[in-house]
Each structure stands twice: as structure tokens, then as C-alpha cells.
Amino acid sequence: GPAESFGLNAIRRRVEMLRGTMSIESEPGLTAVAVSFPVSTPEMPEVNT
């Protein structure tokens, strides 16, 4: 529904801002969300959170 879509869109925007990737796979009874981020790149300084 709309609430779930908004949440995933917000996550996707954050992932893209941090130069990561996000994939979603879904089948009846199971949804998997995978998020990956680069460890470090010369163009991007390390971010401490």
C-alpha cells in the first residue's frame, strides 16, 4: 500500500545519496530487501555515524 511504498522510496533515496544500491525481490510470502554500500572511494571521504 501507500505507506509501504513511501517507506521504501525514502530508504532508496538515502541509499542513492550514499552511493549505494538497493534491490527488492518479492514472491508470495517473502520479500527480501538488499542494500549495499561502497566501503570507500577516493572521491568520497569516509563518513562516521
C-alpha cell at 27: 514472491
Q: Could you give the percent of the chain with pLDDT greater than 90?
A: 55
Residue 30 lies in a domain: yes
Using CA atoms, how far residue 13 sits from 27, 28, 29, 40, in Å, is 24, 26, 26, 19
Domain that holds residue 7: 2-36
pLDDT value at residue 40 = 72
- For the chain, the domain total comes to 1
Tens digits of per-residue pLDDT, 16-37? 999 999 999 999 999 999 999 9
Residue 47 lies in a domain: no
Residue 17 lies in a domain: yes
Residue 24 lies in a domain: yes
Residue 23 lies in a domain: yes
At residue 28, φ and ψ (nearest 5 deg) are -55, 125
Residue 43 lies in a domain: no
